[in-house]
């Protein structure tokens, strides 16, 4: 799943988006409420996307193995979609 704001886009892998533990964790750690737990599924709150402060808490909360990319990506659209 992906949602785009004006400056920021967020991608969540489909498997992670349907994981209740990940949904709860993302909703808990995001300081600007970009993520919501919608009954055990990740919901991206599009109106909050451009409030992202690039804190990496969503990435840190979902990265379980440093050799594999995290199931969440934050993309800076103002830098041609560069990943955070």
Mean pLDDT of 59-82: 87
Provide the b/e sequence for 52-69 (b: ≥16 CB within 10 Å).
Answer: beeeeebbebbeeeeeee
Nearest to 40 by CA among 17, 58, 63: 17
- The answer to whether the predicted template modeling score (pTM) of the entire model surpasses 0.95 is no
What distance lies between CA 76 and its chain's CA centroid? Answer: 12
Report the topology of domain 2-83. Answer: Alpha-Beta Plaits (3.30.70)
Task: Please report the pLDDT score of residue 70 as a whole number.
Answer: 82
The model's pLDDT over 31-51, given as tens digits with 9 standing for 90+, comes to: 999 999 999 999 999 999 999
């Amino acid at each position: 799943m992906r949602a785009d704001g004006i400056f920021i886009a967020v991608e969540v892998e489909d498997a992670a988006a349907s994981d209740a533990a990940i949904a709860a964790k993302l909703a808990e750690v995001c300081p600007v409420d970009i993520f919501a737990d919608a009954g055990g599924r990740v919901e991206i709150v599009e109106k909050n996307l451009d409030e992202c402060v690039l804190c990496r808490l969503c990435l840190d909360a979902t990265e379980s193995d440093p050799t594999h990319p995290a199931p969440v990506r934050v993309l800076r659209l103002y830098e041609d979609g560069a990943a955070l």
